[in-house]
Structures are given as structure tokens and as C-alpha cells.
Amino acid sequence: LKPEPYIQDLLNKPAIQAAPLLLGCEIVRQTPEGELRLKIVETEAYHQADPASHSFRGKTSRTSPMFKTGGRLYVYFIYGVHYCLNIVTGPEGVGEAVLLRAAEPIKGIDIMAKNRGVKDIHKLASGPGKLAQALGIKDTKLSGQILNKSSIWLELPQVPIKPDQITASARVGITKAADAEMRFLLKNNQFVSRV
DNA sequence: TTCCCGATTGTA
DNA sequence: ACAATCGGGAAC
């Protein structure tokens, strides 16, 4: 798999710092059918002191990946229907991660359309459940795995993202700490989730 | 072991 | 607006 220079530096940071820095990065998955590649356009940060975070009540078998060093995957099953993909950040022992909420398809679009059962490119990864489904994630087997040592890895933005291209807002779908602005989006991007 | 509800999505 | 659908985790 591809070497990923400089990404680890980003992943060592706290989720609140890493979440906006992951915008513009590309998430890549190698599949038997071909390479899938998307540009991340929307993220949310979750940290240990945050009542909305799965790590808030401490480490459990499900959430243990969140407490590992940055650079792992955390996948969870939600609403009995969907899977969501997170990038674990920060140091060992601290439970935090960044939820990947939306992304712009770059490569392997036909494969992702097949995975999703939808053709419209704007509907392939415009939400966390859609993004995971586009990548072919159908279970939690990837949870806890290390980027680059699994089928998935990250690459830095081809063109660096400037701070004025990023917007922060309240997170989606949570009831606790609902006012905290820990959702980050690329301004004027057509591939973000609705709301 | 029971019970509640969730970091969502597609359809009515 | 609302159902689909199921597992995590708190409470009993």
C-alpha cells in the first residue's frame, strides 16, 4: 500500500484540531474491483469529555479503538441499519475520533454507485452512512484496524486547504452537547450532507 | 435479562 | 413526518 508521509502528524492531534485538517484529504480503499477514492468535505469531532461521544462513558469493547493512538479506524453500527466510519486521533489512552460525514467521489465512481444502488454522484457519499456504504463497508471488521495496514488509507490534500475555506457548525443528529460547533465543512462544496 | 434509544436514510 | 432494524449499555 501507499506510503503516507505527514499524515501521522495530523492524526496525533486532538480530534477537535484534526477534524478540520482532514477536510480536503483523500480517503482511499483498495478493493478487488478497483481503487475507490474520495475527497473528504465534511467531518465531526468527538472527544472523551463530550457527552455526545461514544468514548464519554469510558472504554468498552465497541469503543476501544477510540482510545488507541491516532491512525486507526473506528466503525460502528447505528440505528440497526447503517455503518459509520471514523478516523481515530490523539494519543494512546484518550478516547477521541473524527466522524467522516461526507466526501466527493474522485475515482471508482462506478463501483461506489454499485455499492450504493444509486447513480447520482451527489448522493454517493453525502452522509456518514452513505460514505461507508460507498466504500463497501458492510460490518465492523475494519474497526480497530490501522490505516495503511488495512485496505484503507489517507492522503493529504493535492491542493492545501486554507482556513477561510472551512466552515464550522453544530453537529448533526445528536441531543447532548448539541450546541458545540464541532462539525466542519468545505465552504460551497456540493457534496456535503444535507441539513 | 429487560428496556431504551441512537454520531441515519429513504420513503410517504 | 416516520418506519426500518438491531446492538450497546444502563438498570433491574
Residue A169 has pLDDT above 90, yes or no: yes
CB of A61 nearer than 7 A to strand C: yes
pLDDT in tens, A104-119: 999 999 999 999 999 9
Q: Which whole number is the average pLDDT over A50-67?
A: 98
The answer to whether the beta carbons of residues A100 and A87 sit under 8 Å apart is: yes
Which residues touch A32 (CB under 8 Å, ≥6 apart)?
A: none
Helices (H) and strands (E) in chain A, counts: 4, 8
Q: Quick one: pLDDT at residue A4? A: 60
User: Could you report the per-residue pLDDT of A5-56, keeping only the tens digit for each?
Assistant: 689 999 999 999 999 999 999 999 999 999 999 999 999 999 999 999 999 9
Nearest residue (CA) to C1' of C7 = A80
In angstroms, the CA A35 to CA A26 distance is 12
Using the CA of A140, which nucleotide's C1' is the nearest one? C7
Tell me the average pLDDT of chain A. Answer: 96
Residue A63: its pLDDT value, please? 98
Backbone region of residue A58 per phi and psi (left: phi > 0; alpha: psi in -120 to 50; beta: other values): left
Q: Residue A181 pLDDT > 90, yes or no?
A: yes
The gap between A102 CA and B8 C1' (Å) is: 13
Per the structure, the residues numbered 73 to 102 in protein chain A that have their CB within 7 angstroms of any atom of strand C are: 77, 79-81
Nearest to A6 by CA among A130, A114, A153: A153
A175 CB below 7 A from strand B atoms: yes
* Amino acid in position A163: P
Strand partners, A82: A78
pLDDT on residue A48? 97
Nearest to A43 by CA among A138, A154, A139: A154
pLDDT value, residue A3 = 47
Q: Is the CB of A125 under 7 A from strand B?
A: no
Tell me: the pLDDT tens digits for A74-99? 999 999 999 999 999 999 999 999 99
Q: What is the pLDDT of residue A72?
A: 98
Question: Smallest CA–C1' separation from A84: which nucleotide?
Answer: B7
Q: Which amino acid is at A119?
A: K
* Angstrom distance (rounded) from CA A110 to CA A119: 8
pLDDT of residue A158: 84
Buried b (16+ CB within 10 A) or exposed e, A55-89: bbeeeeeebebbbbbbbbbbbbeeeeebbbbbbbb
